[in-house]
Structure 1
Amino acid sequence: MSQTIQIALVGAGMFGGDVHARAYADLQRFGIAGQLARVGLDMWNRDFADIRFDLVAVATRSEASAKKAAANFKDLTGHEPRAYHGDEPWTDILRDFPDLDVLAVATPDHLHTQPILAALDKGVHVITEKPMCLSIHEADEIIDLAKRRNRVVAVDMHKRYDPDHLRIKNDIQNRIGAPLYGTAYLEEPLEVSTSTFKWVESSDPFSYVGPHWTDLIHSYYQSKPVSLTAIGQKKRLVRDGINAYDAVQVRVDYENGMSINYHNNWITPADFEGPVNQGHEIVGADGKVESDQQYRGFRFWNNGGGSRTSNNHFTRDVARPDGTRGYLGYGVDSLTVGLAAICRMKYHGASRDDVASLYPTAEEARITTAIVHAAAEVRDLNFKYTQEGKGAPVTARFGADGITIVDPMRASEGVEGVFKKVYDRPL
């Protein structure tokens, strides 16, 4: 019996058109077995060896970009998926492919929820880019529907699979003792916010890349947030007529007593030597770990090119004898584990609960979504008060009663009480 996983990709921009498309191209040509050892799932190499993968459709907002993405995929595989375009192209895909197995969602941050819910409603598994969504209410809606439809929602939290981070999780965190405090930063280039993305006013740098770190810290310690504060700045992008935050800083306090500062921006000048600046450090009761993901000791320079660094762990090309190049790295690993879980469910009778430990789940992504949601509320209030010369006194509290915004300035705004409930279910 032919075993085929049909995939459709919605969103073919910087990440969808590169990482997702190239990963699915390799799967379409050679299957998944060759990727499994990288994520510790090679005990299923033989079981998965005959499973085929078929990217049947790719969709973007414009017709030109959809056709370009489909043509690019044909260059990689010899197979051209059907191209769809429009404001809700997933609707047509789900109609035309009633046997679709997976919808891969790589749309802008604020446009994830609608295609995810549409896919789940049709009984289709989902692999989505981070953050899963920007609202804790939407996260609950996604999780509830995924449970009812018995479908996987795998979130691309690829920093979990960085080999340095795996070493920290599986070894170093045990050596440094109980965590006390830490810092995690990811600073994106200016071109991301000024030219690559047209939707930055609907997001912010923490909502965009902060989820990588909040998820990583949660994967290390499995501890939930109890409170946070946040502040943002608007100085650089407004010069280009873009009403968006240049940078956001969020401090999250956790049940286990640790406090982590998350720093993110998307205004790093083009002259910076790396694609992004990123790293994190954690101080424990018995030691400290520092991990610089921007500069790992690999540097080069050339006439006219300046001094550069590269992250050879995220993705890399591997030359094949036929002249093509394989595509692997921890940027692909997060997609692999989601697809492995889906294969287990479709072909080996595994339940949704059976495979939940294999991939970053929607339930885990809910923690990050709660942080992103609360941080946005607190950030905007603190920005407003700071502009008025009143400081940044607003915080958020997480508990059994949900998420509460604590705003001491409410009285001066003519509102009774300092507490504002934004969510009433426990994390």
Structure 2
Amino acid sequence: MAKTIKIALVGAGMFGGDVHLRAYSDLQRFGIAGQLARVGLDKWTRDFAEIRFELVAVATRSQASAQRAQAHFREITGHEPRAFFGDAPWDDILREIPDLDILAVATPDNLHTQPILAALAKGVHVITEKPMCLTINEADEIIEAAQTKGLVVSVDMHKRYDPDHLRVRDDVQKRIGAPLYGTAYLEEPLEVATGTFKWVESSDPFSYVGAHWTDLIYSYYRSKPVSLTAVGQKKRLIRDGILAYDSVQVRVDFENGLSMNFHNNWITPPEFEGPVNQGHEIVGADGKVESDQQYRGFRWWSKGDKSRTANNHFTREVARPDGTSAYVGYGVDSLTVGLAAICRIKFHGETRDAVASLYPTAEESRITVALINAAAQVRDLNFEYLQKGKGATVTAALRPGWNLRGRSKPRGGRRSRGVPADLRPADLG
């Protein structure tokens, strides 16, 4: 009997329609065995060699976009997944394809929770884009459902798999000694906020891409955050009638003493030479590591064009003798690890707990969600205070259990009016 993993993709925009769709096209044609060595799982190459993968459905909000994704996959592979569309197309998929194995979620950030919970309720594993969700309550609901059902929720935290970051995690961070402070930045192009996404007013740059960096720092040290403060600015997008934050800066303090600043925007001018500007550095007691993910030493320019850079590590085409191209890179690696864990459960009798070390789990993502949830509240309060000519005095204390719902008091025993339960003004003087 053929061993088959059936996948449905919900969301075919900038990431779903590119990275997910192209990764699943290679899986459909050639399987997963060729990708395993990139993530250190090549011991299962023979075990997984006979597993077939089928993208059985693609779904988007509109019929036209669903059919475009369907046609694109057919053009690459010769196979045509079913097209679903509507406000909640995952419900139709889960009803009409009862033997589905994986729901891949690449919807807008604020629409992750519904399809994830719907899939888990039907006994379907999940691979989801970051952030897993936007509130701690949603994260807890997802975790409880996944644990109850024994299912994988693998979150695409692909910065973990950048080869430069793996070198930091496995080698350099040990050389530089106890971490003291650092900065991580990811600056998106203006087009993202003004054209690509229609939901920017319900999000912010830190929620959108800061999640990558908070997860990366956690993957380096496995140290929990204990507090944060955040500020944001609104100047550029307002000129286009978009009531959203241009940029957000968040400082997170960790149990191990590291104080990390996360800087994010989505207003980088189109003239910038790379797709995004990104990098990070950490100062330790015995040294420092710097990593520029935007400019890695590869640059070109030509007549009639400006200087350009490219990230050849994220995804790239590798030519095959038949004229087609393999699709590889750390953007695919972070999908591969979740797929491998699901294969171990379905075909080799492993439990969810037994494969948890293979991929970024929902439990780990709860930490990032807690930071996003708290930063959004702190950001808004500090923005309000700064607009009134006051200081940005609000911080969030992340209590044991990662809840933002309990009661807490600043020193002196008095709660500040208007400050949510686990948010407090910084102690001054």
What are the ranges of 5 or more consecutive residues in structure 2 without an aligned counterpart?
Answer: 424-429
SS at match of 2:274: coil
1:337 equivalent in alignment to 2:337: yes
Q: Show the counterpart of 1:5.
A: 5
Following superposition, the deviation at residue 421 of structure 1 comes to 1.9
1:142 equivalent in alignment to 2:108: no
Contact 1:25 1:73 in 2 (8 A): yes
1:363 equivalent in alignment to 2:356: no
Instruction: Work out the percentage of aligned pairs sharing the same amino acid.
Output: 76
Amino acid at match of 1:106: A
Q: Show the counterpart of 1:251.
A: 251
Name the CA distance, whole Å, in 1 between partners of 2:280 and 2:118.
36
Following superposition, the deviation at residue 400 of structure 1 comes to 2.3
Q: Show the counterpart of 1:280.
A: 280
Q: Show the counterpart of 2:346.
A: 346
Q: Show the counterpart of 1:194.
A: 194
Name the CA distance, whole Å, in 2 between partners of 1:279 and 1:396.
26
Q: Show the counterpart of 2:99.
A: 99
Q: Show the counterpart of 1:270.
A: 270
What are the ranges of 5 or more consecutive residues in structure 1 without an aligned counterpart?
Answer: 409-414
Name the CA distance, whole Å, in 2 between partners of 1:25 and 1:114.
26
Contact 1:207 1:372 in 2 (8 A): yes
Name the CA distance, whole Å, in 2 between partners of 1:340 and 1:196.
32
Contact 1:253 1:260 in 2 (8 A): yes
CA deviation profile, 1:87-137 (whole Å, cap 9, x unmatched): 000000000110000000000001100000000000000000000000001
Q: Show the counterpart of 1:163.
A: 163
1:218 equivalent in alignment to 2:218: yes
Name the CA distance, whole Å, in 1 between partners of 2:407 and 2:309.
41
Name the CA distance, whole Å, in 2 between partners of 1:154 and 1:201.
27
The change in CA–CA distance for 1:205 and 1:326 in structure 2 (over 3 A counts) is: same
Amino acid at match of 2:89: P
Contact 1:407 1:418 in 2 (8 A): no
Amino acid at match of 2:176: I
Following superposition, the deviation at residue 418 of structure 1 comes to 7.7
SS at match of 1:352: coil
1:285-364 equivalences in 2 (<5 Å): 285-364=285-364
Q: Show the counterpart of 1:123.
A: 123
SS at match of 2:354: helix
SS at match of 1:302: coil
Name the CA distance, whole Å, in 2 between partners of 1:34 and 1:381.
49
**Equivalent residue pairs, number:** 419
Q: TM-score, normalised by structure 1?
A: 0.96
Contact 2:398 2:422 in 1 (8 A): no
Amino acid at match of 2:325: R
SS at match of 1:420: coil
Q: Show the counterpart of 1:233.
A: 233
Name the CA distance, whole Å, in 2 between partners of 1:407 and 1:71.
57
Q: Show the counterpart of 2:427.
A: none
Q: Show the counterpart of 1:379.
A: 379
Following superposition, the deviation at residue 420 of structure 1 comes to 3.0
SS at match of 2:142: helix
- Runs of 4+ that moved beyond 6 A: 404-408
Following superposition, the deviation at residue 405 of structure 1 comes to 9.4
SS at match of 1:311: coil
Q: TM-score, normalised by structure 2?
A: 0.95
The change in CA–CA distance for 1:271 and 1:417 in structure 2 (over 3 A counts) is: closer
Following superposition, the deviation at residue 334 of structure 1 comes to 0.2
Name the CA distance, whole Å, in 1 between partners of 2:29 and 2:267.
38
Q: Show the counterpart of 1:412.
A: none
1:58-97 equivalences in 2 (<5 Å): 58-97=58-97
Q: Show the counterpart of 2:38.
A: 38
Following superposition, the deviation at residue 305 of structure 1 comes to 1.4
Q: Show the counterpart of 1:411.
A: none
Contact 1:180 1:257 in 2 (8 A): yes
